[in-house]
Structure 1
Amino acid sequence: MSYIGGAISEWRLLQQLEGHIAPAAIPFETRVGFMKSVELLKEAASDLSMRTSLGVIEAEWDDAFAQIAVNRPLSAHELQRLANYGERVSTVFATEACSLALMTLAPGHAAYAAPERPLFGEQVEEAFPTASAEIADAGRCRAAGLWTACVTHLMRALEPALGALAAWVGVTPKANWNATLNQIEARLREIHKGVDGDEAERWASEAALQLRAVKNAWRNHAMHGRTRYEEDDAVRVFDSTKYLMQTLAGRLTE
């Protein structure tokens, strides 16, 4: 908004000097800079749902643009209209912005808040569609630095994948998830290339490896859910969950 303020000051001065100096057209850079600055405020107001600011900006946007696009000296009246518009926009935007509650995203994790593509990839999205919302929530919690909540959503996202894995190896999930996970691991170790093929053995070995990486987090979630996580542990669980679900999605669906 500093550019808008500078332009307003310049136009107020030109108003006062009318009749004392030869009028001159507003420099091209000033005209472009003013409208570009207002446009940036318009985009911000739209993104932040600042309806009052958006209404003020749009109400006289076309008139201001038409006026400032003219490459000729403006009268004192025209300068006053532009200056008044700029002041209204700046004042209303600043006032409304003060009423907003904004959250600072965790450095290095902000991109997880609104990713352009599924965080765990398209294949996981298709194989385990009921996990999509939990994965997205885990990403938002990671971006906000809510590490324990991030892990909680990851564990909930794992449910359909672990259910599919248990069914594939012929294990019925029990209340004691520690025993269930141990059974799944044991069944995965029984897969050998001589019987099931080389590809199946490699897949089972990778799945078992990734399962071990998240087993403690899953067991804590399933048994009591009171463990708290800090950034390093939460990021480790996030990455391990991602790799496990990607591995499982290569062969299983819910």
Structure 2
Amino acid sequence: MDELAEKFLKTYQVWHHRRLLLQRGVFGDSPAAELAFIAQALASDVKNYHTWAYRQWVLAHFNQDALWAGELRYVEDMLEEDIRNNSAWNHRFFVVFASGIRNEEKDRADVVRRELTFVKEKIALAPNNASAWNYLHGVLEHSETPFAMLEQFVLPFTSSSPTIRGEGKEESVVDLENPRPSPGADLPCPAAIEFLADIHEAAGGDEIPKAVSLWKSLADRYDTTRKRYWEYRISDIHYPVRAD
């Protein structure tokens, strides 16, 4: 069965059959060995959806603390190898906010802070990494944290001007809460502009025109491949009605 799985990694039926065998105890009673096999399979195809789905099933089905213990480290190693591995980012969310929640992590506020620190550092390293921005959105929405809380972090990524990013001068003090874009980063970052526009849209009122201005910049210059989408966002916006 191992040889078949390695040969036909992209075939759903192989992993489904392996799941049935594991449930019947064909591979013994050590799911840890199965995680090791899955890691070996992912080493040759790091973004194989079926393999990742099977790994998540193994973790959730057996749900042993010992299995989950090394999973966050495993994902971090995967992201060290490829920071844009969307499958690894999705798996991290599964581990941290879904089936992988452990009793010892009762203080979810600390977990959210840890994850925000982690993803901000990764965005600073590679600002145009859509997977990291999607993860940031996911953490904020899951924890019901207002996007506006991260405005100071996002602002430097929305302009190509060092003067604007430094508010008039280069800062000598490193802000660990809001890491700056890495030197040589391709800025402005469309995902950051979109994030800032979302902040203005959520604020409503006089902030709406600011959101529209940012969407226009995306449509006309920074994200022209999605021009029609941004034009739709602009046409769909509801301006506040002023009382005479």
Q: TM-score normalised by the shorter chain: which range applies?
A: under 0.3
Q: Decide which structure has the larger Cα Rg and report it.
A: 1
**Which fold has the larger relative contact order, with Cα–Cα distance below 8 Å and residues 6 or more apart in sequence?**
1
| TM-score scaled by length of structure 1 | 0.23
| TM-score scaled by length of structure 2 | 0.23
